[in-house]
Amino acid sequence: MPTVALTTLGCKLNFAETSSLGKQFLDRGYTLVEFGRRADVAVINTCSVTQRADRECRQLIRRARRGSPDAAVIVTGCYAQLDPEAVASIDGVDFVLGAKEKFSLFRHAGSPVKQPAPRIFVSEIDKVDDFGPAFSTDAGDRTRAFLKVQDGCDFSCSFCTIPLARGVSRSQAVGECVAQARALTAAGYREIVLTGVNVGDYGRKHGADLLALLRGLAEIEGLDRLRISSIEPNLLTGEIIDFVAAHDVMCKHFHIPLQSGSDDILRAMRRRYTAAQYAGRVRAVLERIPDCGIGADVITGFPGETDLHFEETRRFLADLPVSYLHVFTYSERPNTPAAGSARHVEPKVRSRRSAILRELGGRKKRAFHERMIGRTLPILVESEEGEGCRCGYTDNYVRVAVPADTAPANTIVPVVIVGVADGCCTGVVRDGREP
C-alpha cells in the first residue's frame, strides 16, 4: 500500500486545505504517515507571508529528502504560486502546483513518482477562480474542525502577498457550508471554526453575507460551538456582534487584525479604518459581551515607522482592552508596494519593537486570564498533555488545563478556574457532568 506524508506551513486555512489533499490520497488507497518518515510521496503546503516561511519550506524539503530519498516531493501553496521557479530549483522537488492546481493534484501529477526534472503546474493568479472546499480536523480527539468558507482577497494592503498568491475573494455557498458543517457535527466534532483569508467578506459576490452564514450554521442540531477565526474591523458589523451575543452556540471571541495604532502607518499599509474606528469596534463588542476574548494582530517595523509612530502604537495597545496580541515583525515581500519603500526600518529595531509588544501582549493575556479566576466556565476538553493534564478552551478563548482523569476528551465540562500558569489557566472540574 503506498504511503504519503503531508505537512503545512502558515494559517489555519492552509491546514484545512492540506487535510483536503490528504483525503484525496486516502481515497486512492494511500496510507498517511508522519512527515519525515519514509514515504512514497511527500506533500508540502507552503506559506509565504514572511521570509521565514520561505526558509522553512526549504528546510522541510530537505527533511523530506533525508527521510525518503526516493519519495516524490510535491510543493504547493502560496510560495509555490508566487515563485514556482525558485521552488523548482530546490534540490529534490518533483512537482510544483499552484493555487488553481492543488485541488486537482492527481490530474497534474498522476500517480506521483520521482521525476528526472521538476514539473511545474502554476496558472496565472488572475485565472484562479475556483474554491476548493476544505476542512481540517484535529489529529486525535474529535473536538474542533476548521471549515474553509472563503478564499482570496480583494483588499490591497501594501505589505501583503495574499492577493498575488490566492487570487480574488470568493466563497462557498451557504448551503454547501451548512452541509459540510452538519456532516462534521454528525461525525462527532463539537466546535467548528470558520476560516478563510478574509472571512468577513464572505458571500459578497453571490448575494449572501457572513451573518446569513452564521444564521444557517447556528441552526445545526448537535453543534455545540461555532467560532469565527478572524474578521477585519471594518467588516465586523453591529449585527454580527449582536448575533454572537444573542446565541449560545456562538463563541464569545473575536480575532480582529489591527496591524498598527498609528493612523499614518495604517494609511501607508492601505488599511481600511483608523485607530479610533478600531477602538470603537472593540468597545462595541465589550459593551454587548463584557467577557469576550479579543485578539489583535500587529506588525512592527513597517517602512516609515518612526520611534514616534511605534510609541503611538504601544500606547494605543496599552490602553486597548484586548485579551491577547499576535505580534509580527515586518518582512519585505517581493512585488508588494511596501517592499519598494526607501524608508526601511533596521532589522534590529524591528526585533526590539516586537519584543516590547510581545511583552505587553503577555501582560494583557495574563490579566485577562486572572479575571477568570473563581469563575465556572465550560471548556471543550481536547488532547492530553504531559503530567496527567488535559487542556481545552473556553468559548472566550481561554486555554485551561485540568486533571486528565476528571475530564474525558471531546466533552464540554464546567470548570472552576483556580489559577494562571505558563500562559494558560488551571482549573478543577466542578462535577464531571456536561452543563
Give the tens place of pLDDT for each residue, 163-216: 999 999 999 999 999 999 999 999 999 999 999 999 999 999 988 999 999 999
Reported as a pLDDT band with limits 50, 70 and 90, residue 137 is low
- The stretch 35-62 carries a mean pLDDT of 87
Give buried/exposed letters for 247-262 (b at 16+ CB in 10 A, else e): eebbbbbbbbbbbbbb
pLDDT digits (tens, 9 = 90+) for 251-270: 999 999 999 999 999 999 99
State the pLDDT at residue 388: 85
Q: Tens of pLDDT along 391-415?
A: 999 999 999 999 999 989 899 999 9
Q: Where in the chain is the domain with CATH 2.40.50?
A: 376-429
> Residue 427's pLDDT band (boundaries 50, 70, 90)?
very high
pLDDT the model gives residue 433: 45
CATH class of 376-429: mainly beta
Structural contact between residues 48 and 165, judged by C-beta atoms closer than 8 angstroms: yes
Domain with CATH 3.40.50.12160 in the chain: 3-124
| Segment 57-71, tens digit of pLDDT | 889 999 988 888 999
pLDDT tens per residue, range 281-340: 999 999 999 999 999 999 999 999 999 999 999 999 999 999 999 999 999 999 999 999
H helix or E strand, kind and range, residue 178: helix 174-186
pTM (2 decimals)?
0.91
For residue 398, count CB atoms less than 10 angstroms from its CB and return exposed for 0-12, middle for 13-18, buried for 19 or more.
buried
pLDDT of residue 12: 85
Q: Supply φ then ψ for residue 69, to 5 degrees.
A: -60, -25
Mean pLDDT of 117-144: 80
- For the segment 118-138, the average pLDDT, to the nearest whole number, is 83
Distance CA 274, CA 171 (A): 27
CA gap 236, 217 in Å, rounded: 18
pLDDT of 138? 54
Share of the chain above pLDDT 70, in %: 97
pLDDT attached to residue 141:
56
Instruction: Classify domain 3-124 at the CATH class level.
Output: alpha beta
Average pLDDT, the chain: 93
